[in-house]
Amino acid sequence: MKISIMTLFPEMCNAVLGESIIGRAREKGIIEIEAVNIRDYTTDRHNNVDDATYGGGMGMLMQAQPIYDCYKAISEKSKSDKPHLIYMSPQGKTLTQQRVKELSELDEIVILCGHYEGVDERVLEEIVDEEISVGDYVLTGGELPALMLADAVARMIDGVLPNDEAKSLESHYDGLLEYPQYTRPFEWHGKEVPEVLISGHHENIDKWRRQQSLKRTFERRPDMLEKAELTKKDLEYLETLRKAELWDAYDKDFALIPGLTLERGKRIPDGVFHLVCDIIVQHTDGTYLLMQRDKRKHFGGMWEATAGGSALMGESPAQCAKRELCEETGIISDSLTEVGRVVNSDNRSIYVEFYCRTDCDKQSIVLQDGETSAFKWVSAQELISMKKDELVTERMQNFVDELKV
């Protein structure tokens, strides 16, 4: 693959493309990149390559002759009769990873960098094959966009990156944004690496990474999902994300309010409540499951003797409890018993309490990234002896008080 950049600032281009991964690939002969000075081809005795625009206006325009002769010189050394010429222009189609892939399959491309107020239209009509934009904003010249394009295309060439997996896992390559990544130390500024990443369970790690990619794309670039290649499981997970933002509305008597939908993060009107389910989990050996809240959440680091969360739109209390139990602990159970309801007017919530008795493997509990950071099983006596600043919420204290009776 050969990339030629037609520019007024070849030193700028060579400085960037001579470093890091692309620089090493050039040294090894994996890819050939040259920056050609357009000014070398001017016939002006003062070495000028620009002139005033016809019809008046601010600024100067790059002339056709130096650009045309520069491209002709590149073509004469090319194996192709006419190397594919790209003009970096805000009027072009926005660059995408798909177009990068397509360009990387060509033997040679030439990139024209505009400057000043632009380029004489006639030379564009004469030699340019396509115009590409890197976004809706104004830059001083085409060099930075050209370097972005050259870097993106070069990375697709076999041998430039350490392995094919490296490029296939990056943002945009498969139509999704990349998942979050972490390195040492395990804890930094009170924030810990998600437990799943140190579990050694490769299947769970792959699942977590895929879901994080979907979640980031859903939150930051939902437009990309329209063209991404998604599996049935991907679509099911995205559906839970979409529903997670919306809640049903209830009155204080637990009656559904027709036609009113609540949205997470937005104010809930006075006299209106949303549904929250809590699940108290007890093992058949008599111990209770405690989950430690993620330090990034409200009450972070404290323990609660429940799993639970807000009911999604259309969910019944039992459906919500079953889903939250599975998501936050990994326990799958159909034997959930409703044991009480509490109305909290301060945070406009109706809490529906469930009791789950399970004989699950006590070490099989799964933590939910961003929600919980640890778990432990304790006896009723140990639970009763826990301090108030260790347990979350007044509801938790009421439960402990009931055990004391």
User: 380, exposed or middle or buried, with CB in 10 Å at 0-12, 13-18, 19+?
Assistant: middle
Helix (H, G, I), strand (E, B) or coil at 143: helix
Chain-centroid distance of CA 252 in Å reads 39
pLDDT, residue 171, reads 47
Q: Higher confidence at residue 182 or residue 393? A: 182
pLDDT grade for 399, boundaries at 50, 70 and 90: low
What percent of the chain clears pLDDT 90, i.e. is strictly above it? 61
Mean pLDDT within 109-120: 95
pLDDT, residue 165, reads 47
pLDDT grade for 227, boundaries at 50, 70 and 90: confident
Tell me whether domains 2-166 and 187-244 share a fold.
Answer: no
Residue 345 has which token pair?
């007017």
Which contiguous run of DSSP H or E holds residue 377? strand 372-378
pLDDT, residue 401, reads 67
Among candidates 25, 74, 69, 22, which has minimal Cα distance to 44? 69
Average pLDDT across the chain, whole number: 89
Domain ranges in the chain are: 2-166, 187-244, 248-404
- Is the per-residue pLDDT at 120 higher than 90? yes
- Is the per-residue pLDDT at 189 higher than 70? yes
Q: Which residue is it, tokens 């991907």? A: 234
CB 219 within 8 A of CB 179: no
Q: Higher confidence at residue 174 or residue 98? A: 98
Query: How many whole angstroms separate alpha carbon 241 and alpha carbon 337?
Result: 27
Query: How many whole angstroms separate alpha carbon 48 and alpha carbon 344?
Result: 76
Angle, CA of 236, 239 and 242, to the nearest 5°: 160
pLDDT, residue 258, reads 87
Q: Which CATH superfamily is domain 187-244 in?
A: tRNA(m1g37)methyltransferase, domain 2 (1.10.1270.20)
Q: Higher confidence at residue 404 or residue 312? A: 312
pLDDT tens digit string along 275-287? Answer: 999 999 999 999 9
Helix (H, G, I), strand (E, B) or coil at 292: strand
Sign of the CA dihedral 228, 233, 236, 240? negative
pLDDT, residue 157, reads 95
pLDDT tens digit string along 131-177? Answer: 999 998 889 999 999 999 999 999 999 999 977 645 544 545 578 99
| CATH fold for domain 248-404 | Nucleoside Triphosphate Pyrophosphohydrolase (3.90.79)
Q: Higher confidence at residue 277 or residue 401? A: 277
Among candidates 284, 336, 332, 278, which has minimal Cα distance to 310? 278
pLDDT grade for 89, boundaries at 50, 70 and 90: very high
Mean pLDDT within 116-144: 95
Angle, CA of 177, 164 and 208, to the nearest 5°: 40
- Is the per-residue pLDDT at 260 higher than 80? yes
Mean pLDDT within 9-29: 95
| CATH fold for domain 2-166 | Alpha/beta knot (3.40.1280)
pLDDT tens digit string along 352-375? Answer: 999 999 999 999 998 887 788 899
pLDDT, residue 242, reads 75
